Amino acid sequence: MNDDLASAGDFTSSNPLLDKIYQCVVWGVRGNYRSMPTDCPQRDERQGWLGDRAAESLGEMYIFDNRLLYSKWLQDIVDAQQENGSVPAVAPHFWTVYNDDVTWPSALLIIPHSLREQFGDDAPIARSYPAMVKWVDHMSTYITADGIQPRDKYGDWCMPPEDPKIIHSTDPARLTAGPLLGTTYFYYDLGLMKEYSALVNQSADAQRFNDLAQKLNFGLNAKYLNRQAGQYDNGTQTSSVLPLAFDMVPADQKARILANLVNSITNIYHNHIGTGLIGAAWLNRVLTDNGRVDLAYAMATNHDFPSWGYMVEHGATTVWELWNGDTADVQMNSGNHVMLVGDLVIWLYQDLAGIASDPAQPGFKNIVMKPMPTGDLTFVKASHRSPYGLIESEWHQDKTEFRWRITVPPNSTATVFVPASSPDKIKEGGRSLTNRPGVKLIRTEPGRVVYALDSGTYDFQASNG
């Protein structure tokens, strides 16, 4: 039983395991819609935990037309806010859980951003802005003089433990410090608030949020950045992912922090994920944005523990609550929790398929299409029904050619990045792109030729020679 939400997208590829994982996500997400996004449908909990859905709400918006459901749930969160600005970890607050931590209540700010990006809907921002300001002002009272936001309750929840029989790791080397999580996430929140302030014409708010964000950025690097070791704090994957994702790393240290993340994945975790839901919400995109889409793909297609593929290989039809859900203490026994999906679905659509909304023209008014062929993939096919209509991206590649069929819906445009060394290597419909109506060459960059497209259907062929 679930809310009757229309399907908004589909994804398939040449990798059968990746497709099975995607279907596990679809079934799990669908089964957790009950006028609010719940954490699980099958046991006596079924609560709207904010941390679970902030982690991957954007990905869900590729799969289902859930704009009204998430707009409604956002109002549930606002309704549950206390007079002093405190926001609960569960909304509606059938369970009364007010911890004043940062990561879970950040859903109040993250959900409106997802709604704007996917649907071009600014109304939730305007409607919830007073509540968001109230929460940020309340949480700002906890910031220390040296620019650290220490409030954290759950840590990097459900990261892979060192013992397959336990639920939560007790190994200090695996645990990300709570104040590091609180400081990085609150910095990100303040950046969202700066953006929202401009949208609702509150320039004074924008300035104070910006000033406070800079204090946190300085505080994070002063306390946790170990320049000698090239890592933050104890060097967990999440301690690298969040500063990279939120652009908090000093320019001269970015390469070293990325190297620390890559070393953790490849040498410590042997090409496996080592984050809980907080780090997983950004991990694949951080790797891809920093030139390691191959590593993201390796983790996404693993068969052994800890991985989504391990769940599938052990009978999962929806995503588990724990990476070791088949062996851990049954105290946490859900076989249908979407919190560990993280940014996987976002990555499948935006990076593998190449369907992303342009932040400057949200709601897919302009579509940024930059597929990332990698690994053993020979084709990816995806579609998403945007507010303007159906977007399609289907690419095939072999040793000699990259073929890419694109549909740009009416009243939309697209910026497309065709994998090719130069324009003379590219044809559309078997013909030269010179003077092709609806196609304008923007620039050439390493390994890509960038075009602006009007609405329509296009068939690109790019020679690898």
Single-letter amino acid, residue 48? G
The full set of domains in the chain, from first to last, is 9-352 (1.50.10.10), 366-463 (2.60.420.10)
pLDDT over 90 at 55, yes or no: no
pLDDT tens, position by position, 132-163: 999 999 999 999 999 999 999 999 999 999 99
pLDDT tens, position by position, 391-440: 999 999 999 999 999 999 999 999 999 999 999 999 999 999 988 899 99
Which ranges of 55-177 does DSSP label H, i.e. alpha helix?
Answer: 57-63, 67-79, 107-119, 123-140
Single-letter amino acid, residue 336? N
- DSSP three-state, residue 308: helix
Gap between the Cα atoms of 155 and 51, Å rounded: 11
Gap between the Cα atoms of 372 and 369, Å rounded: 10
Gap between the Cα atoms of 185 and 179, Å rounded: 10
Instruction: For residue 266, count CB atoms less than 10 angstroms from its CB and return exposed for 0-12, middle for 13-18, buried for 19 or more.
Output: middle
The model's pTM is 0.97
pLDDT tens, position by position, 175-204: 999 999 999 999 999 999 999 999 999 999
Tokens at residue 159, please?
């990261």
Nearest 5°: the CA angle 418, 420, 424 is: 105
Q: 298 near 271, Cβ under 8 Å?
A: yes
Nearest CA among 213, 279, 114 for reference residue 221: 213
Q: Give me the pLDDT at residue 271, please.
A: 95
Tokens at residue 119, please?
């649907």
Confidence of residue 448 (pLDDT cuts 50, 70, 90): very high
Q: 8 near 62, Cβ under 8 Å?
A: yes
Confidence of residue 25 (pLDDT cuts 50, 70, 90): very high
Gap between the Cα atoms of 373 and 166, Å rounded: 37
